[in-house]
Amino acid sequence: MAVRPITIIGHKALHQPTKKVREVTDEIRDLVEDMFETMDAANGVGLAANQVGVRQRIFVYDVPGEDEDEPDRRGVVINPVLEKGPVPAGTPDPEDGSEGCLSVPGEHFPTARADWARVTGTDLDGNEVVVEGTGLMARALQHETDHLDGKLYVERLTPTYRTQSREAIKERGWEAARVTKWDPATQEAEDV
C-alpha cells in the first residue's frame, strides 16, 4: 500500500467524468488499498479515484458516527449511482453546512446538500452495495459522487461563497504556482 498524491483544484482529472469500472483487477484492488491509506493520511472522510489522478468510478469513505452510539462507517463503492432527497432552498447554515475537500485543502464553505442520500454500486467482489445515510454520511455520498461526475463542491456554492472560494484559492497561489498535487504523507505540494 502507498499514500498517493492528491490532485488539487484545477487539475484536469477533477473536472472530467470518470469511467465505469468494467472488471475488478489486481490494479483496481491496489488502487482501493492506496485510496484508503491516502484518505487516512489526509484525515479525510472520503476520497474519489480521480482525486489521486485515476479516472475510474470508485470512491472510499470513512465517516464517523453521528453520536457515540453509532459506529463509524467505512467502505468502498464501485460504480455508484446516487439518489438523494431535496436540497433545501436558500443559503446553507454555516454551522451545519460547512464542507471541505482534500482537493481544495484548508478551505471550508457552507454548501447546500440534501439531508438524505443513498448510493448503490458494488464492492471489490462484485457484490451489491447499498450505502444510505443522513447528515454527514449523506453529505459524503453526494460529495464523492460529485467528484466522480467531474464536479467539485465549490461549484455548488451560492454566489457569495463561490466568490469567497475563488479568492481563497487565488490567495493560496495554487493557480499562479501551477500546483497540481499535494502529498498527505509529507504535506508537500508538487508543481507542474
Backbone angles phi, psi at 30, to 5 degrees: -65, -40
Residues known to be catalytic: 144
11 labeled part of a ligand binding site = no
- The three cell numbers locating residue 9: 483544484
C-beta separation of 109 from 161 below 8 A = yes
- Rounded CA separation 75/100 (Å): 20
101 labeled part of a ligand binding site = yes
Place of cell 473536472: 15
Looking at the DSSP assignment, which residues form a beta bridge with residue 119?
A: 82, 131
143 labeled part of a ligand binding site = yes
C-beta separation of 152 from 9 below 8 A = yes
Q: Which residues are annotated as a binding site?
A: 101, 143, 147
Q: Which residues are annotated as a binding site for Fe cation?
A: 101, 143, 147
